[in-house]
Amino acid sequence: MIKNKFNRFGIIAICLLSFGYSCAQKNISKNISLKEVYKKDFLIGTALNGRQIEEKDSNAVVLIQQQFNAATPENIMKSEVIHPGWDTYNFDMADKLVALGKKYKIKINAHALIWHSQLPGYVRRLKDADSVKQFFTNHIKTVAGRYDGKVFSWDVVNEALEEDGTMRKSIFLEKLGPDFVTEAFRLAQQAAPNTELYYNDYNIEQPKKRAGAIALIKKIQAAGVRIDGVGIQGHWRASNIPLKDIEQSIVEFSALGIKVMFTELDLGVLPNPWDGDAADVNMKAEYSAKMNPYANGLPDSVEAKLTKGYEDLFKLFLKYKGKVGRVTFWGVNDSQSWLNGWPIPGRTNYPLLFDRNFKPKPAFDAVIKLKK
């Protein structure tokens, strides 16, 4: 009898405890929200892939609406997807993204209007300057025009610079000359008068590339063309975040009278086959188990580095909250990150604030704590 009573009591106690635990779990995601905590400081964004835009990934959908008030399409507005033939446009996914933004009150940053990468095959094969010019003009007018006022902002030109600050040797530089950046903004300004217009690139916090970006932005401004902001992508390594350069960049870019955005933030924790950080999608290296050391989980010491990295960065972003307009993570959770496949395919990386089970990581807590 006594034993039975104890059993019953024990079962009730276990139920109460687990009920409390699941409430606590819900509270983490229900009540603590990055976008709420940072709402007076800057927008908090995420990159969205196709499945997330179509709301096929229900766990992601929960986080997207709770945590973010800005979103960038990871791939579906790039020219190879949205403009697959000379006279053919595919607006299906971009329209769905705009609808998602409306539904969850998420500001959409469209990405990327003019970019040398992920171009449709027919553009890569163009030989004469006139045809390239025609594609360039039609593309900007049609795509930016369609989404004017429906998206909040555009990455008008993406990655037009080399590491030394000179212009990247792309099809646009080769066929249209160095003024193509100013021209892209001029056309975007006409097609999308109600949309903010940004220049976006990686490593532009680095002094030489930053100087190139500043020269580019000044040139656009000197031509009387509108540019509203600059996006520093922010693909860094947790163990090597260039905080001083980032701070200097916020100061120098904002002195040009434009907003500074961190547009593709992720902090890789895996060994890099080369020195330095980059985000050039054409760079690839061979897989080896040695280069994938955390396939079965992240050691506490590395997790701590990641947490500290995010804490340092957000401290800096908060210091300049009047100048920083948005901080966007390049993915909702670790499983989605491009860093699992680049520069070495098939690795397990941990660069974001939510883990593979959509649970907030210690780095999330650290970022939230800065505001408590």
Contact residues: ligand 9MR, CB under 6 A = 74-75, 117-118, 158, 233, 264, 279, 281, 338
Nearer to ligand 9MR, 117 or 190 (CB): 117
Annotated catalytic residue within 74, 183, 196, 264:
264
**Minimum distance, C-beta of residue 195 to ligand 9MR, in the bound complex (Å):** 18
**Minimum distance, C-beta of residue 29 to ligand 9MR, in the bound complex (Å):** 24
**Minimum distance, C-beta of residue 202 to ligand 9MR, in the bound complex (Å):** 6
Q: Is 311 a catalytic residue?
A: no
3-state helix, strand, coil in the chain (%, to 5): 45, 15, 40
Given a contact cutoff of 8 angstroms between Cβ atoms, the answer to whether 141 and 148 are in contact is: no
**Minimum distance, C-beta of residue 341 to ligand 9MR, in the bound complex (Å):** 7
Nearer to ligand 9MR, 42 or 329 (CB): 329
Rounded distance between C-alpha atoms, residue 189 and residue 226, angstroms: 7
Given a contact cutoff of 8 angstroms between Cβ atoms, the answer to whether 161 and 204 are in contact is: yes
Closest CB to ligand 9MR: residue number:
338
**Minimum distance, C-beta of residue 164 to ligand 9MR, in the bound complex (Å):** 19
Nearer to ligand 9MR, 196 or 277 (CB): 277
Contacts for 262 with CB less than 8 Å, ≥ 6 apart: 231, 232, 233, 234, 317, 324, 326, 327, 328
**Minimum distance, C-beta of residue 342 to ligand 9MR, in the bound complex (Å):** 6
**DSSP E strands, 128-276:** 153-158, 196-201, 229-232, 235-237, 259-268
Rounded distance between C-alpha atoms, residue 370 and residue 372, angstroms: 6
Nearer to ligand 9MR, 28 or 281 (CB): 281
Rounded distance between C-alpha atoms, residue 181 and residue 37, angstroms: 36
Pairing of strands 235-237, 196-201: unpaired
Rounded distance between C-alpha atoms, residue 248 and residue 323, angstroms: 12
Given a contact cutoff of 8 angstroms between Cβ atoms, the answer to whether 181 and 220 are in contact is: yes
Q: Is 162 a catalytic residue?
A: no
Nearer to ligand 9MR, 182 or 233 (CB): 233
Annotated catalytic residue within 159, 183, 205, 303:
159
Residue 122 CB neighbours (<10 A): 15
Give ∠ CA 233-236-238 in degrees, rounded to 5. 145
**Minimum distance, C-beta of residue 49 to ligand 9MR, in the bound complex (Å):** 7
Q: b/e for 243-275, b at 16 or more Cβ within 10 A?
A: eebbeebbebbbebebbbbbbbbbbbbbebeee
Rounded distance between C-alpha atoms, residue 159 and residue 114, angstroms: 9
Nearer to ligand 9MR, 63 or 279 (CB): 279
Nearer to ligand 9MR, 74 or 228 (CB): 74
Secondary structure class of 273 (helix, strand, coil): coil
Q: Which residues have a catalytic role annotated?
A: 159, 264
